[in-house]
Amino acid sequence: MAEQSLPLPNQRRIDPISVASAWSGIITHKWFLLPVASAWSGIITHKWFLLTVVVLLGLGAWQGIRVLLGPAVVVDRVARGRLVETVVASGHVETPYRVRVEIGSQITGTVEDVLVQEGERVTKGQPLIALEARESKASVVQAQGAVAQAEARIRQLEELTLPSAKEAQTQAEATLRNAQQTYDRTAQLERNGYATRAALDDAQKTLDVARAAKRATEFQVYTASPGGSDHVMAQTQLNQARANLDTAESRLGYATIVAPRDGVLITRSVERGTVVQAGKALLVLAPSGELQLVLQIDERNLGRLALGQTALASADAYPDRHFSATVTYINPGVDISRATVEVKLTVKEPPDYLRQDMTVSVDIEVAAKDNAEVLPVRSVREILSGQAWVMTVKNGRAAKHPVKVGLRGNSQIEIVEGMQPGDIAIPQSSGVLTGQRVRPVLP
């Protein structure tokens, strides 16, 4: 029996008739396929040249469109918002008290303790230096004793001498009355012949003594009373004793040297045990006070300034830190050599980093308006001429358009007339000329 070969799975059988038919078609169309193959071969051979041609054709088409439609220009748009007009100026920091205060002793003494360090901030009345004060304390005690003694003398006059003098005066008045009655009776008896002349003389003598005693007691009462000599002398002694006490207490107070005002101690030239002389500087104090910003502002802005206006300031050394200030002084005169006006602003809460004579930049708010129609300043031309205008786009071309401006901020300006919200304007920096075709593009 002859063996038969079985086909393998997934094996495709080739039909001889189909192969013959395909080969016959290629031979029939050989004149058509040859040019295509030749062209493809040429493309592959000159591919970089052809790519360059395609790129140049694209650039040419793009430039042609740009010439026809104009270059793309980024434009600004009128919008509504809050606008703050400011006057910008630079100046320096100044304190009201530029002179340093030298602190010394008013008496000669030995330093017992120094209570502060150099660079420390102090307040008015704060103790700074303590001097040895035993002698001054003893003088105070002695003066206090003299005052107490003088006060006791006043009380003695008021509580003892004056009442005793008044009692003596009362007694003398009674004695005088009795002497007067005796004299009157004796005189009557003498006229009637019942008494002798000697008895009358004795009565007269007793009357005169009683009168003298009464006058003496009156003087005692007067001198012991307020305004009398004894009382005046006692009061004078008391006043002198009190004055001596004040002097002693003042000298004792001089033993403690205190800060004459608020400030910062910038120099210390004394230590414990130092013998100091009166008038010698021991400490140097830089007084503190409300800081001021002193500016020189162009006189053209004088009419826009007013007392009480607020400002935002920053030191050139710390440009990212801002603090507020208030206009408190406008010089009534103008510096003719510089055509400027001196303006001072007070900083009520100065930051710690501010120093004397620091350079600062200040924006003084002179006007503000809500819901204003604003446009970036860069798009408004000839502002100072009084005939401001903008470059807008009309029918695809740049066109000059007059406007009326109002408030002017640092980067924006108010459009009062000539434009509406949404209108566009070409910035000056674009270099576009009037009548040039442009394609506006919003940022």
Q: Is beta strand 439-441 parallel, antiparallel or unpaired with respect to 72-74?
A: parallel
Q: How many CA atoms lie within 13 A of 274 on its CB side?
A: 17
Phi first, then psi, for residue 403 (nearest 5°) are -140, 160
Phi, psi of 22 (to 5 degrees): -65, -45
Amino acid at 337: S
Residue 66 makes CB contacts below 8 A (sequence gap 6+) with none
Over the Cα atoms of the chain, what is R_g?
Answer: 57
What's the confidence (pLDDT) of residue 442? 82
> What's the pLDDT at 14?
47
Asked if 270 contacts 276 with a C-beta cutoff of 8 angstroms, the reply is yes
Residues of the chain predicted below pLDDT 70: 1-50, 53-54, 57-70, 96-99
3-state secondary structure the chain: CCCCCCCCCCCCCCCHHHHHHHHHHHHHCHHHHHHHHHHHHHHHHCHHHHHHHHHHHHHHHHHHHHHHHCCEEECEECEEEEEEEEEEEEEEEECCCCCCEEEEECCCEEEEEECCCCCCEECCCCEEEEECCHHHHHHHHHHHHHHHHHHHHHHHHHHHHHHHHHHHHHHHHHHHHHHHHHHHHHHHHHHHCCCCHHHHHHHHHHHHHHHHHHHHHHHHHHHHCCCCHHHHHHHHHHHHHHHHHHHHHHHHHHCEEECCCCEEEEEECCCCCCEECECCEEEEEEECCCEEEEEEEEHHHHHHCCCCCEEEEEECCEEEEEEEEEEEEECCCCECCCCEEEEEEEECCCCCCCCCCCEEEEEEEEEEEEEEEEEEHHHEECCCCCCCEEEEEECCEEEEEECEEEEECCCEEEEEECCCCCCEEECHHHCCCCCCECEEECC
Task: Put residue 142 in one of left, alpha, beta given phi > 0 → left and psi -120 to 50 → alpha.
Answer: alpha
Domain ranges across the chain:
19-59, 76-83+369-441, 101-132+255-287, 135-253
pLDDT tens readout for residues 70-106: 678 888 888 888 888 888 899 999 876 656 788 999 9
Residue 217 has, within 13 A of its CA and on its CB side, a CA count of 19
Tell me which CATH code domain 76-83+369-441 carries: 2.40.420.20
The token pair at 13 is 């059988």
According to the model, what pLDDT value does residue 384 have?
81
Tokens of 372: 């204003």
**Cβ proximity of 306 and 353 under 8 Å:** no
- The architecture of the domain spanning 101-132+255-287 is Beta Barrel (2.40)
End-to-end CA distance of the chain: 93
As a whole number of angstroms, the distance between CA 76 and CA 381 comes to: 13
Query: What letters, b where the CB count within 10 A reaches 16 and e where it falls short, cover 97-125?
Result: eeeeeebebebebebeebebeeeeebeee
